[in-house]
Amino acid sequence: MKQNSNVRRMTALALLIAIVVVMSLTPLGYLQVGPLSMSLLTIPVAVAAMVLGPTDGAIIGLAFGLTSFYSAAVGRSAMGTALFAVSPGGMFVVTVVARVLEGWLAGLIFQAMTKKGTKDSKPAYFVTGLMTAVLNTVFFMGFLVLFFYNCDYVQSLAATLNVDNALMFIITLVGVQGLIEAVVCCLVSSAVSIPLRKIWVK
């Protein structure tokens, strides 16, 4: 029984990783909006966190982060490429570490809202879906400011946005895009996870 459970888990992880890779290589994963890309890859991370748990949420977050790091390394994103040239290590933290934390914490949030022995409540799905996108933005922008705020590229971007401090830089750069990303992740990941988890926990 345990072996069957492990096979099922590995199959689910492989499928979600494949979805992340496909999305990252097509317009399904990143929608270019100004200097940033609005990412829909938070959706499979949220699904993994809710259906499989914090550890697997972190694994799918890792897959998300590695595809993002790859995009920066090979020049698929102007901003990512510029920052990668400044500090590959810093870019690894911004793209990979941020997404691992995002998936892990999203799983913990869902677990906290759905204790064992109680039925899953719909608010838990919506809150976790929303928080996955919020955590993605918070960690990504937080690490970006920590590692790159004083570099020429970011300072030039801040001047273009007419902001003179890190907080306003984050708010102005993320703007409506972050709100849309959060709402989409909340609705889509919830719609997918609710029926999937009912099947999974049987």
Q: List the CATH number of the domain containing 180.
A: 1.10.1760.20
**Which residue range is the domain that position 49 belongs to?**
2-145+176-200
Identify whether 151 is part of a domain. no
Gap between the Cα atoms of 50 and 198, Å rounded: 11
Vertex 138: Cα angle to 90 and 150 (nearest 5): 45
Confidence bin at 198 (pLDDT 50/70/90): confident
pLDDT of 95 over the 70 cut: yes
Identify whether 140 is part of a domain. yes
Q: What total number of domains does the chain contain? A: 1
Identify whether 159 is part of a domain. no
For residue 118, the model assigns a pLDDT of: 54
pLDDT of 1 over the 60 cut: no
Identify whether 157 is part of a domain. no
Q: Taking the alpha carbons of 123, 113, 182, 76 in that order, is the dihedral positive or negative?
A: negative
Q: Taking the alpha carbons of 72, 88, 100, 124 in that order, is the dihedral positive or negative?
A: negative
Confidence bin at 107 (pLDDT 50/70/90): very high
Vertex 182: Cα angle to 176 and 184 (nearest 5): 100
Identify whether 170 is part of a domain. no
Identify whether 155 is part of a domain. no
For residue 202, the model assigns a pLDDT of: 62
For residue 51, the model assigns a pLDDT of: 93
Torsion, CA 109, CA 27, CA 96, CA 144, rounded to 10 = -90
Identify whether 165 is part of a domain. no
Tens of pLDDT, residue by residue over 15-62, are 999 999 998 888 777 766 655 667 889 999 999 999 999 999 999 999
Identify whether 161 is part of a domain. no
